């Protein structure tokens, strides 16, 4: 059955790309262009990926630890600090 009629991509082709490591619609699009024209097939691709072999799922099933999540090195400036910097720049003539 066709998933992407714009590029003639079938369910089988999406599953084959998933079996070789494509775990997101963007990775499927990179592999075969499905989902890059009208976008009507993206939800179907997401559905197929939910049932395909995904390396991430295999790692979770094998008991591998959760991936590390990077935290911001610097806290974002408060709005009042940003306003003060903007005023200082305006007074000094810096754009």
The number of residues making up the chain comes to 95
Q: Label residue 53 by pLDDT band (50, 70, 90).
A: very low
d(CA 12, CA 20): 12
CB atoms within 10 A of CB 41: 24
Q: What is the C-alpha separation between 49 and 54, in angstroms, rounded?
A: 8
Task: Assign a CATH topology to domain 2-92.
Answer: Arc Repressor Mutant, subunit A (1.10.10)
Q: Is the pLDDT of residue 26 over 80?
A: yes
Where do the domains of the chain lie? 2-92
Residue 88 clears pLDDT 70, i.e. is over it: yes
């Amino acid at each position: 059955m066709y998933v992407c009629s714009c590029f003639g991509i079938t369910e089988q082709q999406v599953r084959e790309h998933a079996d070789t490591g494509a775990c997101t619609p963007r990775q499927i699009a990179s592999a075969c262009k499905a989902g890059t024209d009208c976008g009507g097939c993206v939800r179907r691709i997401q559905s197929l990926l939910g049932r395909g072999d995904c390396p991430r799922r295999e790692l979770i099933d094998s008991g591998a630890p959760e991936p590390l999540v990077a935290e911001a090195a610097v806290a974002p400036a408060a709005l009042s600090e940003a306003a003060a910097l903007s005023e200082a720049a305006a007074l000094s003539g810096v754009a």
